[in-house]
Each structure stands twice: as structure tokens, then as C-alpha cells.
Chains A and B, each alone.
Chain A
Amino acid sequence: MKSVFFGAVSATALIASAVYAEPQAEVLHWWTSGGEAKSVAVLQEEFAAKGGTWTDMPVAGGGGDAAMTALRARVLSGNAPTAVQLKGPAIQEWYEEGVLADISSVAEAQGWADVLPASIAGHMKCEGTWCAAPVNVHRVDWIWANADVLEANGIEMPTTWDEFNAAAEKLDAAGIIPLAHGGQAWQDATVFEAVALGILGPDGFRKAFVDLDMDTLKSDEMKAVFDQMRTMRGFVDDNFSGRDWNLATAMVMNGEAAFQIMGDWAKGEFMAAGKVPGEDFLCASVPGDGFLYNVDSFAMFDVDGDDKKAGQELLAELIVGQNFQKVFNLNKGSIPARTDVSLDEFDSCALKSAEDMTASSDNGSLLPSYAHGMALRGAQAGAITDVVTAHFNSDMSSDEAVNMLADAVANSM
């Protein structure tokens, strides 16, 4: 009985709103708490200011895993949300299932192709049409340091991995934990890809983690990456297993540890504690060339109703709009995806990130982060992470790890 009743209500609601076609959007996202929620609230306010009705469908957890669970259930029950926070190759995967809407008209009217770096624009397209709108660019390959600790021990920010190792040994001898790290699979993978970028170089990184080239995956350079990971393991304290990344950041803040390798969301943690970049803490890209990005974006799902379609177009326009790109990223610690936003109010770390992004985009070293689901589909990325974390948390040799890596990737196809 109830179902009939509910069906009737939603049917009348549909008819009523179709007449006016007011922009409607049910938005599934996983930015639910603190600064992230405030950032997404900015979008909701803009949307409402333009006459739209925003229905919030927040699902946090596991870096979007829970949201993806809910998304599948919604799609299968024939009740897909209007807009969904999706990123990386997952966008194309969903497109292949035939459930995404085309937003090319907005993208072309707004000239997205001219303002987005080419490699980032590539993630937003599905077989030539625009199917997602980018929100921000997080840089993943950062190394954060406690300024006082480095000064007290006479250490400069390292520019090669050898320098890093030398500095770490010195710190170790001085009784300071060289590297703050949390032993969770994704954190292990974050450190791993930073090391891999430095040792393999941008081309090698692309071959290994974008093209999944078997020769590169089995190469001696890859062994060297695992060797360095083994060395890094020695720079981590004994109690790192399962530690949340922000507790590791707190260790750097307190001077208990010197360095942390983490994306630029770590900056938000320093800032929240009232620390000043350049004075209390330092940010630098990890040794080596290149820029690993983690871009959040929204994809629009195929839905019925003019009001919802109007909502999708308005939402796409606002997301890539200059104002939202600025306000959102100031809140979140990342930088705008479009390159023509004024960066006056951003801090020194963000400025460096924006500068490096433009430079690396020009020389072809602007690369997707594998650890954060930008480079590979879930099955392959997960298979690599399994090996990385198993190696880091055991006494596996680099030879074994490289073989396991090749097997796991082959098995995940």
C-alpha cells in the first residue's frame, strides 16, 4: 500500500515541477565534514542563488567507497542521482555502462577546452563528448617538513632521494622520527608513487602506471623503487600501522617527526592548527621531476525530467565557474583546475603547486596519481596497491615484489 502512496506523491511532484522546469539536482558526494562540507556548501549556495533546488545526498567513507556502493544501488533500482562526485577513469567506466549524460553544450559554451590543462581535460571527456566537470587539483607528490626540526639539525629540504636518506639517517641519530607515516594501504601507495616518480622519472612513471607496460613493471628501476621503499621503512617508527594520515601530520607539527609525504590536504591540517607555511612548516615537491595530480570532479547521470536536466547544466556551469573554483579551493587546500583564476589569496604552497602544474603541463610531466585512482581503473590500481602494501609491511625482497607486481597486474585484467 505504502509504495503506491509514495509513487503517487513523487509522480505529482514530477508533473508540478516539469511545468516550471526549475533547476533540480540531487547531488551524491562524499565531502561531508569540516572544511570539505563548507566547500561544497559554497556550490549549493550559488546553485540556490540561481533559482535551483539542491537535494543533498552525502555519503562519506573509505575515500568514496561507500558513495560508490550507494551509487550502484541507486543506478540498479532505476533511481540514479542527478550529479555524482566521480573521478579518474571511473568516469569512463560509468560512461561505458551507458548511464552518463552529455554536458558538451555547457562545456563548449563556457570554453572549458581553453582554460583546463589538456591532460586534466582528457579525464573529463568520454569518446569525444564532455561528461564531467572538474573541481580542483590536488597535488599528491608533496613532502612536508617541520621547519624548526630541520633547522636545529642543519638539514635542507632534500632534492634527491640520496639526500633524503642522508638527512633521515642524521635525524634518526638525533632521536627524531625521520618520516611520519600511517600504515594504511592508500598511504603506503602514496609514498610508493612519490618514490616511483622520482626514480622512474615522468616517462617511466607513465609507462608503468598508466600504460601498465610489463617491461617497466619488471625493470631494474622498479626494483630500485622497492629498494628505496625498504629503506623508507627503516625511517618510520614502529607504531605506524593503521595510523590515520592526520595523526602522522600532527607528529610533524609537534616536532616528533621531521617529514611526511602526503597530498596537499595535509596543509589544511597544519593551517587548522594555526601553523604558517614557510615559517612553521615547509612544503616541497618530492625529489625528482613531475607533478602527480588528483582531480575531483562531478559527473552527470542520465535522468528524466527537464528540471533535472536544467539542474545538471547549471551545476556544470557553476562548478567550472571562476568564483566557485577560487572559493572552493581556498577552503580545501587544493588549486583551481582552470588556469585563469586569480591566485592572489592563495598561500605560498598553492602558488608553487599552480606554477609547477603549468610548467609540467608544458613539458609533459603532468601525470595522474595512481594511488588516488586517477591513472588506472580500480581493479588494476588495487592490484598494485596490494603488492605495495604487502611489501612495505613484510620482509619481502624487491625481486619478489617486482614479480608479484607483474603477476597481480596480469591477474587483474
Chain B
Amino acid sequence: MTDLSMSRPQGQSRTGKIILRWVLYLALGLFALFYLMPLFVMITTSLKSLEEIRTGDLIALPREVTFDAWRTAWSGACTGVQCEGVRPYFWNSVLIAIPGVAISTLLGAMNGYVVAQWQFRGANVIFSLMLFGCFIPFQVVLLPMARMLGIMGIAGTIPGLIFVHVIYGIGFTTLFFRNYYVSIPSELTKAAKVDGAGFFRIFWSIFLPLSLPIIVVTVIWQFTQIWNDFLFGVSFSQAGTQPVTVALNNIVNSTTGVKEYNVDMAAAIIAALPTLFVYVVAGKYFIRGLTAGSVKG
């Protein structure tokens, strides 16, 4: 717990504290503005008619607000010969993302727990090898991976996509958990062992309850990676298993046709909603002081 503001050293005056507080909020607000700027452009654009975009200032507020673009993006925009918007592709992404996140997070937690708390000869070497794996460019793995998926008989299927995401996600999830668990004193494990608790039991009843903030971080990372992935989604899917990013890309990219920026922007925001939802829900578990009292060594 790093609750410093509430118990500042005595000497500071009350007004000083209030001014400091205002400066703090001002800084946070300014940063928020910076982060919100592109969203502002996207939302205003999505509310304009195409006519207005063509003739007007691209970053101005809409003269006339219309929600047509949102409707089109959700259920009417063409993503090929079907013109049903991004809606039909949502389910594919959900089917890929949820198992993908769950499996890779669980594996990461177990791996991290082993590397941080159950060191054996060579464990650090294995961990380092997994870390370097994070740096392999995905463009490189596309072709051999396609061949492997073909051999395994899961090319073009949702299980195939989940498999790929888990494989290239465990490096990161292991890293997050390991680096979080390393700071938990090893005496805790030792004491539990003396009490007769086994490997899984210690994990389940001691480490997991301490892990909420890092689970949140891992889920945020993995969900974002999988939901927003385009390269794997486009390469290892076939008709019927394409995720929402492929649909979004199909709406946005017109090689020689008219570009409907308002629909593009609306579709992009719609496609991002599940991720935003995860941020809001998961973010709740960032609660201060969750670990207080438990980590005493």
C-alpha cells in the first residue's frame, strides 16, 4: 500500500495541501485531454454525414448530428458480398478471445509461480528462453505456423486461432506473473511447505488471492492483443471464422471505391467496445490495499 497523500508529514499547511491537490488534478486532466484528442475526432466524424465530411473541416464539430453511420457500421456496411456490418463477426472474436485469454493467463500464472517460487536447476534458463520468444516478429511465424496448423488439422478453425494466440501469449503472461511473484518473500512458500501444503495448494490458497492486480494487468494485455489481432486473424481464418478486426479492415479498406469515413470511425469504436468494457470491469479490481496485511513475510 502506498497511501501517502492521506498521511503527509505534519509541517505542511492546509492551503498548501489543497493547492497541491489542484495541481495534481490539473495534471491528470491535461493528460486526459491528450489521450482523448483522437477519440474526439473519431466521434465527431462518426456523427457527420459523408457530404459534410467531403466539404467541411475534418476536425470541426458536426453541423448536423446523425447516427446513420453507427447503424450502418453495426448492421449494414459491406464486408464483402454480405452487407451486415461488423455484427456477425463479433461472435467469432468472442469465441477466440475468451478461451485464449483464460488459457494463457492460467498457464502464465502457473509458470510464473514455478519460476518465481519453485526454482530448480535451469528454471531461469527456461524463463529467459521464453522471454526471448516475446521478440519474434509475428510476420516471421506466419508461414511455418500455417504449415503446422495444416499438419495438425486445425487450419482455418477457431481452435487453431486460439492455439496460436496462446502460444505467442504465454511468454508475456509468464513474465507478468513471475515478476509479480518474485517480490513476494519466499519464506511464505517455505513456511507453508513446513505446514505440509503442496504445490497446488500453496498456489491456490496463498498466491492466487494475492494476484488480483496482476491478473487484471494480464487480462487487459491478453484481451487487447487477441481482440485487436489482425495478422493472425486474417492468415489463419477462413470464411466463417474471421474475427471482427478482419471485418473492420474490410469495411475501412476500399481500394478503388468511395471512402466512408463516418462509417469507418463508428465501426472502429464499435469494434473496440468489448475491450473498453473489459478495462472498466477489470479496472475495478485495481482497488487500493487489496494486498495489505497478507504480504508480511
Q: CB within 8 Å of B: which residues of A?
A: 2-4, 6-7, 26, 29-38, 40-41, 44, 54-64, 66, 69-70, 72-74, 76-79, 81, 138, 244, 246, 250, 253-254, 263, 265, 268-269, 272-273, 332-333
Contact = CB atoms under 8 A, between A and B. Distances in A.
Interface in B140-166: 142-143, 145-147, 149-150, 152-157, 159-160
Classify the interface of chain A: helix, strand, loop or mixed: helix
A7 B231 CA distance: 24
A33 B252 CA distance: 8
Nearest to B251: A33
Contacts of B249: 59-61, 66
A138 B80 CA distance: 21
B258 interface: yes
B127 interface: no
Interface stretch (B19-27, B175-183, B199-207, B232-240): B232-240
A49 B237 CA distance: 28
Contacts of A55: 239-240
Given A3-B152, A6-B159, A78-B150, A37 B142 contact: no
B214 interface: no
Contacts, number: 156
A134 to B, nearest CB: 16
Contacts of A69: 142, 231, 234-235
Contacts of A76: 143, 146-147, 150
Contact of B258 (A35, A58, A63, A64): A35
25 contacts: A31-B255, A32-B79, A32-B80, A33-B260, A34-B257, A35-B257, A36-B255, A36-B256, A36-B257, A38-B78, A41-B81, A55-B240, A56-B81, A56-B239, A57-B238, A57-B239, A58-B80, A59-B246, A62-B253, A74-B146, A74-B155, A77-B155, A77-B236, A78-B155, A250-B54
A29 B159 CA distance: 24
Given A41-B81, A69-B235, A6 B157 contact: yes
A55 B253 CA distance: 20
A138 B242 CA distance: 30
A64 B256 contact: no
B282 to A, nearest CB: 28
B89 to A, nearest CB: 11
Contacts of B155: 74, 77-79
Contacts of A60: 249-250, 252-255
Chain A CB count within 10 A is highest, among B81, B82, B159, B252, for: B81
B77 A33 contact: yes
Chain B CB count within 10 A is highest, among A70, A254, A269, A273, for: A70
Nearest to B53: A250
A79 B77 contact: no
10 closest A-B pairs by CB: A58-B80, A77-B150, A265-B256, A37-B78, A77-B155, A32-B250, A60-B253, A73-B146, A73-B235, A34-B257
A3 B254 CA distance: 35
B284 interface: no
B154 A58 contact: no
A40 B253 CA distance: 15
Given A32-B251, A73-B142, 12 more contacts: A2-B154, A6-B153, A29-B80, A31-B255, A59-B246, A61-B234, A62-B253, A66-B253, A69-B142, A74-B238, A76-B150, A250-B54
B234 A32 contact: no
B71 interface: no
Interface in B162-192: none
Given A60-B250, A66-B234, A138-B256, A34 B78 contact: yes
Contacts of B147: 76-77
A69 B139 CA distance: 10
A378 to B, nearest CB: 16
Contacts of B242: 57
B98 to A, nearest CB: 15
A93 to B, nearest CB: 16
